[in-house]
A and B are shown apart, each in its own frame.
Chain A
Amino acid sequence: MGYAIKTENLVKRYKDKTAVAGLTLEVKEGELIALLGVNGAGKTTTVKMLTCLTKPTEGRAEIMGCDVVKDSANVKRLVGVSPQDTSVAENLTVKENLEFMADLYLSKDKARSSVERTIKAFGLEEFSGKKAKLLSGGYKRKLSIAMAIIGEPKVLFLDEPTLGLDVLARRQLWREIEALKENMTIVLTTHYMEEAQALADRIVIMTEGNVKAIGTLEELENMTGRKGLEDVFVSIAERME
């Protein structure tokens, strides 16, 4: 199995601030990787660079072998993004939102069948004719993720997908993300320890734009001699201060 994502010394600098300082990372196809860190750790900037939303200052990154700078048109066909803020067309219905995204990526016939399949998979049948602005926060997030996967991406980026959701909505969304793991590579950014612990194959701990540790939970526990991701995270973050 090849690598879905490869980055080499990826740097993003804004005037006097370094948002990401030399990220080197390899993510295998079919893997779910969690970028874990507090606010301002550089998680969202990393996602932005990997999805061609912003250009790296230094270094290089590839998605399924395509360079994010030189071959951005192809990268955009390979990735799906669910941004941090719920990004749906408010006056369109759930079905229209999905049709809109499907039509951007797929042929007409494929788009129609993909819409029906996605509505079913995400349990949105009851709301398909409802305007997006009338949905609850949890269902808006669901729709946002459904819109990100409807183009059949190879790599899916979920930026803080459960931010602000209640515990039930969060758990329900975890189940949807778990189900997606079989079909695509997923990069999840979060600052919820339990979310990374529950979903990720490997965890990348970031602070102040730097990668402090990468590994499975077990590897990170062995590395720090602590149990549970929260203690591991605190141990790593404090050691680096």
Chain B
Amino acid sequence: MKRTMVFAKRNLIEVYRDPLSWIFCIAFPIVMLIIMSIVNSAIPKEAGNTLFRIDNLAGGIAIFGQMFIMLFTAIAVAKDRNGAFLTRLYSSPMKSGDFVWGYILPMLLTAVIQVCVSLAAAIVVSIVVGYSLNIAGLALAVAAVIPSALMFSAIGFLFGALFNEKAAPGICSIIISLGAMVGGIWFDVEGVGGFMYKLGRCLPFLYATKLARSAISMDFGVSEFLVPLGVVVFSAIALTILASIVFNSRMRADQR
């Protein structure tokens, strides 16, 4: 445990000293929140589009922001694998669990900070646009998105273990685009239906967005909260296990 925390501290410092992580993990989601709120104010009420209403938008932005956590986890792991730094650590007393949680824990902390900042920005926007947000719901959302934060960190960890420093960010960008589309963040994927909706139901992103939005609106229905929670928790655990197995096998292969 001590070595996990030592390694997690190192990774946290590395992430926080990279200005890009501040831009993409904190600033970009807030900018999107503001832009989409402006877009929402331009949509006539008669259109009946509530997707960009601040309560829905806040949940979507929370998940959108976590996708960048995935990107930075992938970059951190791939970068370390490319260099000789991990070679030094492989010959130290660190065990595979120290590596796995040493990478994931700082990203979980970053995700919690990120969602707190995004939701705080949502409160400010809600005051500006005159919409009343449920503060208890927002607090619950901070806890409700932790499983999806683990899921995205695990996906990033998996890609970082599988691909090199150049390929990993590209693959993550594809996942970000796909996740934002079929995850129902920028448009109503259920309303669109067809292949998009079917694909969305097969992937965990739509459930993650649903879970965040349900938490904010304190809607604890089975299909709105419990099922998405189950899917996201299962996906997070399964992907963390898969990423650990892949990392361990790559760890051995890297040293052959």
Contacts and interface: CB of A to CB of B under 8 A. Distances in A.
Chain B associates with chain A: yes
Given A54-B255, A105-B93, A96 B13 contact: yes
A81 B86 CA distance: 11
Contacts of B88: 81-83, 87, 147-148
A84 B93 CA distance: 20
B91 A89 contact: no
A51 B84 CA distance: 14
A146 interface: no
| Chain B contact residues, majority secondary structure | helix
A131 B14 CA distance: 11
B91 A76 contact: yes
Contacts of A128: none
Contact of A104 (B6, B17, B255): B6
A83 B87 contact: yes
A96 B18 CA distance: 16
A104 B92 contact: yes
A96 B90 CA distance: 19
Interface residues of A, number: 32
A76 B93 contact: yes
Nearest to B79: A90
A192 B204 CA distance: 56
Contacts of A131: 17
Contacts of B178: none
A52 interface: yes
Given A53-B255, A103-B6, A89 B93 contact: no
A14 B10 contact: no
Contacts of B53: none
Contacts of A148: 88
A100 B83 CA distance: 17
